[in-house]
Structure 1
Amino acid sequence: MSEVVLLRDVHRVYPGQPPVRALAGVGLRIEAGELVGIVGPSGSGKSTLLNVLGTLDRADTGLVRIDGQDVAGRSDRHLSALRAHRIGFVFQQFFLAPGVTALDNVADGLLYTGASLRERRRRAARTLERVGLTDRNHHRPHELSGGQRQRVAVARALVGRPALLLADEPTGALDSTSGAAVIELLHELRGDGTTIVIITHDHHVAADLPRTVHILDGRIESDERTA
């Protein structure tokens, strides 16, 4: 298996009085096709870790390699291209364009690829089928349930075939039934070979994942795999 994420002795400190040490010597390796939960309380450093993994923030020191690319010293333009083509994001809030169909919300995930509108929509329809929403292609966000809207958001993140899918509290805005369905979907996507990292403070979500990394005070406290 090839690695999609490699962090070695990563530090991130935010200035202030006193300075905030968000990451303190984090090391992490994630192989292609893994489903990993990053778990910790508020202020533990998990959001900073997500931002570093997604190249939205830069480490002060240490190695950060995403999909085989060492991101240190890369230009903002290069990192933007890496995010556009190799990293998918799913957030607690769905960030779907109101008044726009599910199909075109997903197709918008390909805006920066240069593909034609016809090709973007073709790939969007195929991805919506993958997440079980073929019959909702032409529905607008207000016509969808919370769980369905999150599935559209997942499809938008997947449509560009990213090497890494980062999900930040993907069940946080959902009821327990819809949340469980989204986690089940992520398990299915992992079965298809997608590499997924879920950031969560919900230990019930983490308990169902094959690998759980616990972070506290900017340090990895444990890295556990289930049978």
Structure 2
Amino acid sequence: MNSVIRVTDVTKTYGTPPVTALSRITFDVQRGEFVAIVGTSGSGKSTLLNILGTLDRPSSGTVEINGIDTGALNDNELSALRADGVGFVFQQFHLREGVSALGNVADGLLYSGISKAAREERARIALTKVGLGHRVSHRPNEMSGGERQRVAIARAVVGDPPVLLADEPTGNLDSRSSDTIVALLRELNADGTSVLMITHDPVLAERLPRRITISDGNLISDVQGGGSV
């Protein structure tokens, strides 16, 4: 099976009376794909990302990650799946202030069971991979926004997850830094990581090889081809 993510009839509702955030969403992501999930604020795309990353559960429908039905897992099993199978990158970076880039990236392996020295060695390799091998001792407040996002990406991929979920990773960056981050994600994708990137920017989405458009909780279109990063 080549699907790294399979979403089938996923619906998410909140509250009473229920408000529908997602309605019967269905799609597959194949291994090695780079997919943009695009929509305006409030469209449901971030809700979808949280469900794909098993941070939230659907009200109905199924989500499979690497062939595993996430609905059949308890919270501890979901945590283990996230630790081994999914990397996260957020718009706000979520780095620990006062901690070096090396320490922030090594945090991504805290629950891996490997030694501190091994975590730091792998963090150093990940930082070099994102072009920050010379900044390992710098703290977030000593870095530009683009550099902080690269640290966040290094933390997300330090455990070599097959899937990377990026939620508006260029939202707080200038155009030059945004281009650098998208190019970096493309390099990670070329190395075999399946990348799903949430964005509200249709111009950016058009540059990507596949675009899933969400509006009012519905999947409006799923377009493949025609884009390049």
State the Cα deviation string for residues 154-204 of structure 1 (Å, max 9, x = none). Answer: 000000111210000001111111111101111111111111100110112
Flag the 1:43–1:16 CA change in 2: closer, same or farther, 3 A.
Answer: farther
User: Under a length normalisation based on structure 2, what TM-score does the superposition of the two structures give?
Assistant: 0.96
1:208 shift after superposition: 1.1
The match for 1:31 is 30
Q: What is the alpha-carbon distance in structure 1 between the residues aligned to residue 210 and residue 113 of structure 2? A: 36
1:139 alignment partner AA: H
Q: What is the alpha-carbon distance in structure 1 between the residues aligned to residue 139 and residue 66 of structure 2? A: 34
State the Cα deviation string for residues 1-51 of structure 1 (Å, max 9, x = none). Answer: 72110011111111234x211111100100111110000111111011001
Q: What is the alpha-carbon distance in structure 1 between the residues aligned to residue 204 and residue 171 of structure 2? A: 10
Q: What is the alpha-carbon distance in structure 1 between the residues aligned to residue 16 and residue 175 of structure 2? A: 38
The match for 2:177 is 178
> What stretches of structure 1 move > 6 A for 4+ residues in a row?
none
1:15 alignment partner AA: G
2:11 alignment partner AA: H
Q: What is the alpha-carbon distance in structure 1 between the residues aligned to residue 169 and residue 145 of structure 2? A: 11
- Name structure 2 gaps, 5 residues minimum: none
The match for 1:7 is 7
1:129 shift after superposition: 1.1
Could you say what secondary structure the match of 1:134 adopts? Answer: coil
1:166 alignment partner AA: L
1:225 shift after superposition: 1.4
Identity across the alignment (%):
54
Q: What is the alpha-carbon distance in structure 1 between the residues aligned to residue 223 and residue 66 of structure 2? A: 23
Q: What is the alpha-carbon distance in structure 2 between the residues aligned to residue 67 and residue 129 of structure 1? A: 28
2:9 alignment partner AA: D
Residue 196, structure 1, aligned to residue 210, structure 2: no
In the comparison of the two structures, how many residue pairs are matched?
A: 226
Residue 210, structure 1, aligned to residue 184, structure 2: no
The match for 2:186 is 187
Q: What is the alpha-carbon distance in structure 1 between the residues aligned to residue 35 and residue 184 of structure 2? A: 14
Could you say what secondary structure the match of 2:121 adopts? Answer: helix
What does 1:58-73 correspond to in 2, within 5 Å?
58-73=57-72
Q: What is the alpha-carbon distance in structure 2 between the residues aligned to residue 126 and residue 51 of structure 1? A: 28
The match for 2:111 is 112
Q: What is the alpha-carbon distance in structure 2 between the residues aligned to residue 73 and residue 117 of structure 1? A: 33
2:6 alignment partner AA: L
- Name structure 1 gaps, 5 residues minimum: none
